[in-house]
Amino acid sequence: MITIALAKGRMQDDALALLARAGVCLNEDARNSRRLAIADESGKYRFVFVKPADVPVYVEHGIADCGVVGRDVLLESQADLLLPLDLAIARCRIVVAAADPEIMTRSLGMLRVATKYSRIAATHFGTRGIPVEIIQLSGSVELAPALGLSDLIVDLVETGRTLRENGLSVVEEIAESTGRLVVNRASYQLKSEPITALVKALGAVVNGEERA
Amino acid sequence: MRYYIGPEARLRRTIEDTAMSVFAAWSYEEVITPSVDYYDLFEQGMGQAEAQRGFRFTDNDGRLLALRPDVTSSVARMAATLLSERPRPLRFCYAAPVFRQQPQSHAEWRRENTQLGCELIGTNGHTADLEVLRLAAEILARLNLDSTYCITINNVEIFNGVAAHLNLADHAREELRRLIDTRETAELQRFLQSFANDEARAFLQPTQLTGKREVIRAAREVITNSRSLAALDSLEELWTALDAHGLAAQFEIDLSDVSSLDYYTGLSLKVFVHGAGTSVGRGGRYDGLTGNFGRAEPAVGFVLNLDALTEVLARRMTDV
């Protein structure tokens, strides 16, 4: 049996829809149930639903053989995983945003950056030699500049509406993020047949080659 | 940090004894190396990036010491200095703890791991490579892991040949290596668009990089540079020999195993066992290593992680 870890929330429905088109179906009852581990209809796959940041953890430890999670989470976790497919779902951008877009060029002192992505932020500013103080938050990051906690934020943006409504605008884009299929290194070798089949089937769906 | 008590400690001891008896049967002499040595030794032996994962501290006179992060460095130095007059080949084995700092929450989190390892120094060619591969297979079979383990083999010169042929700058070569290592096909495709030469297409099919002999055949269809082709020949020769020994079922060719290019110079191998989420062993050929200590000669070897094997086998015992 292949265990697939799925990130709960934003990406979950898109990921399940893709998997269904690749022939891995969860029936309605299972989907609506509140159990966190469920088998698919064929009994060949088991799904576990975990928080996005935990997907790389489950897969790296080999508890799940593969998973679906955003590139933002992968960049932040730096887990040692195989990333064979870009699933092109839940597309969004990781950006630097501020109330005053000029602040990056105007301020020569230490900038305060509030973010859920402390590693991505540290790397982004660090490689360009811009001194920043990273303030780690776990949600509602857009509040930080309005309340004076930080000068900048580094966060995920889909439409930009949340930013606008909180009086922020994008200063620069760090990276684009989409949902990725990740695979455990050991599983890739030890369960190569079913995993290769899954990668191929999903790859065909993503590239629009699926048979009608 | 980990305690082994009673039955678990016995199991761990049995695994160690099994491996050491197989090494002995193949005429490998046991060697015990210092647990504390000058940090320089490990930097010369492992390269800076790996050696820096060791725990470092200073001696009374201010010189930098380290708890050994590997055993191979010490054995290579010993072969090049103390034993420079001994007739070749040298065969050494060891069971010894090594110490490395690990990033928290990553799967390989232990600071202390005991390595069961061997080094075959002073002999070249696929007979030496075959010898250590058969040794690894025999140990795993004696541990009753038959049909639940898989050893992947590759020759890093296949990648090196392609990278040299593309004429890549260092950072681009590292980017190519990373994309192949993590099998990021879509990004790899984008990366390669800027090159007229399409040899690296060999790495574009993530599902065709791993397998049996057909992997080599597929790679030959796109790779034309002589360095990679020589490496493919040598890998195929090795595969034929493994096949002749009835080991083809337990081995896989994995052209995407390019994780330690600066260290290995030919064969590279990784050991996977059902029940362990990460590889439980690794090795390869490092002909450049002993040269760092004044006497360049071919060398090949591998290590198995005793703690990981104990965990897998202990879980299997309780499951039965």
A37 and A99 fall within a common domain = no
8 A C-beta contact, residue B147 and residue B317: no
Quick one: pLDDT at residue B320?
60
* Cα(B110)–Cα(B99) distance, integer angstroms: 9
Whether the per-residue pLDDT at A27 is higher than 60: the answer is yes
- The tally of domains found in chain B comes to 1
| pTM of the entire predicted model | 0.89
Q: Tell me the nearest-neighbour CA distance from A136 into chain B, angstroms.
A: 18
CB atoms within 10 A of CB B224: 14
Residue B23 makes CB contacts below 8 A (sequence gap 6+) with B30, B93, B118, B135
Q: Nearest chain B Cα to A206, which residue? A: B186
From chain A, the residues in CB contact with B258 under 8 A are none
8 A C-beta contact, residue A181 and residue A85: yes
Would residue A212 count as lying in a domain?
A: no
8 A C-beta contact, residue A58 and residue A50: yes
Question: How is residue A207 written in tokens?
Answer: 């590239």
- The whole-angstrom distance between residue B308's C-alpha and the CA centroid of its chain comes to 16
- Residue B57 φ then ψ, to 5°: -155, 175
A15 and A50 fall within a common domain = yes
Quick one: pLDDT at residue B286?
93
- The tally of domains found in chain A comes to 2
Asked if ipTM goes beyond 0.90, one says no
Quick one: pLDDT at residue A209?
64
Highest mean pLDDT among A45-49, A160-164, B13-17, B103-107: B13-17
Binary contact (A189, B106; C-beta < 8 A): no
Whether the per-residue pLDDT at A141 is higher than 50: the answer is yes
- Predicted confidence band at A155 (pLDDT cuts at 50, 70, 90)? very high
Binary contact (B150, A190; C-beta < 8 A): yes
* β-pair partners for B38: B65
Structural element, H or E, at residue A92: strand A92-98
**Reduced to 3 states, what is the DSSP secondary structure of residue B54?**
coil
* β-pair partners for B254: B210
Q: Tell me the nearest-neighbour CA distance from A69 into chain B, angstroms.
A: 14
Q: Residue A154: which of A96, A111, A211, A210 has the closest Cα?
A: A96
| Percent with pLDDT over 90 in chain A | 67
Q: Please name the member of B152, B182, B274 whose beta carbon is closest to the beta carbon of A81.
A: B182
Range of the domain at B201: 153-264
Residue B65 makes CB contacts below 8 A (sequence gap 6+) with B36, B37, B38, B39, B56, B57, B58, B59
Would residue A172 count as lying in a domain?
A: yes
* Cα(A54)–Cα(A39) distance, integer angstroms: 20
Q: Nearest chain A Cα to B182, which residue? A: A82
Binding-site residues on chain A for chain B (CB distance < 8 A) = 57, 60-63, 78-86, 183-190, 192, 196, 199-200
Helix, strand, coil % in chain A, rounded to nearest 5: 35, 30, 35
Quick one: pLDDT at residue B147?
87
Q: Tell me the nearest-neighbour CA distance from A71 into chain B, angstroms.
A: 12
Question: How is residue B227 written in tokens?
Answer: 């360095």
A74 and A62 fall within a common domain = yes
Would residue A211 count as lying in a domain?
A: no
* Cα(A60)–Cα(A58) distance, integer angstroms: 6
Range of the domain at A187: 2-90+178-206
Quick one: pLDDT at residue A212?
40
Sheet with A37-39, edge to edge strand ranges: A37-39, A45-50, A2-7, A66-70, A179-183, A82-86
| Best B102, B183, B191, B254 residue to mutate vs chain A (most A CBs within 10 Å) | B183
**Reduced to 3 states, what is the DSSP secondary structure of residue B232?**
helix
| Percent with pLDDT over 70 in chain A | 96
A76: CATH: 3.40.190.10
Cα torsion A158, A159, A160, A165: sign: negative
Quick one: pLDDT at residue B109?
60
Binary contact (A85, B106; C-beta < 8 A): no
Residue B50 makes CB contacts below 8 A (sequence gap 6+) with B42, B69, B70, B263
Would residue B160 count as lying in a domain?
A: yes
Q: Residue B70: which of B260, B303, B306, B270 has the closest Cα?
A: B303
**Reduced to 3 states, what is the DSSP secondary structure of residue A56?**
helix
Would residue B6 count as lying in a domain?
A: no
Q: Tell me the nearest-neighbour CA distance from B243 into chain A, angstroms.
A: 18
A35 and A136 fall within a common domain = no
Q: Tell me the nearest-neighbour CA distance from A132 into chain B, angstroms.
A: 23
pLDDT by position in tens, chain B (length 320): 788 999 999 999 999 999 999 999 999 999 999 999 999 999 999 988 889 999 999 999 999 999 999 999 999 999 999 999 999 999 999 999 999 988 765 655 678 999 999 999 999 888 999 999 999 999 999 999 988 999 999 999 999 999 998 888 889 999 999 999 999 888 888 888 877 667 777 777 766 788 899 999 989 988 889 999 999 999 999 999 999 999 999 999 999 999 887 889 999 999 999 999 889 999 999 998 989 998 899 999 999 999 999 999 999 888 76
Would residue A108 count as lying in a domain?
A: yes
Binary contact (B279, A82; C-beta < 8 A): no
Binary contact (B277, A62; C-beta < 8 A): yes
Q: Please name the member of A62, A84, A86 whose beta carbon is closest to the beta carbon of B278.
A: A62
* Cα(A170)–Cα(A154) distance, integer angstroms: 10
A82 and A46 fall within a common domain = yes
* Cα(A2)–Cα(A23) distance, integer angstroms: 14
Would residue A58 count as lying in a domain?
A: yes
Would residue B247 count as lying in a domain?
A: yes
* Cα(B93)–Cα(B301) distance, integer angstroms: 9
A130 and A25 fall within a common domain = no
8 A C-beta contact, residue B37 and residue B254: no
Would residue B168 count as lying in a domain?
A: yes
Q: Nearest chain B Cα to A78, which residue? A: B106
Q: In chain B, what's the furthest Cα-to-Cα distance?
A: 62
Whether the per-residue pLDDT at A75 is higher than 80: the answer is yes
**Reduced to 3 states, what is the DSSP secondary structure of residue B84?**
coil
A140 and A162 fall within a common domain = yes
Q: Please name the member of A61, A86, A199 whose beta carbon is closest to the beta carbon of B277.
A: A61
Q: Nearest chain A Cα to B149, which residue? A: A190
Binding-site residues on chain B for chain A (CB distance < 8 A) = 103, 105-107, 148, 150, 152, 182-187, 206-207, 210-211, 252, 254, 270, 272-274, 276-279
* Cα(A111)–Cα(A90) distance, integer angstroms: 30
* Cα(B183)–Cα(B186) distance, integer angstroms: 9
Q: Residue B64: which of B85, B45, B41, B46 has the closest Cα?
A: B41
8 A C-beta contact, residue B54 and residue B68: yes
Whether the per-residue pLDDT at A106 is higher than 80: the answer is no
Quick one: pLDDT at residue B102?
81
Would residue A10 count as lying in a domain?
A: yes
Residue B14 makes CB contacts below 8 A (sequence gap 6+) with none
What's the whole-number mean pLDDT along residues A10-25? 90
CB atoms within 10 A of CB B102: 14
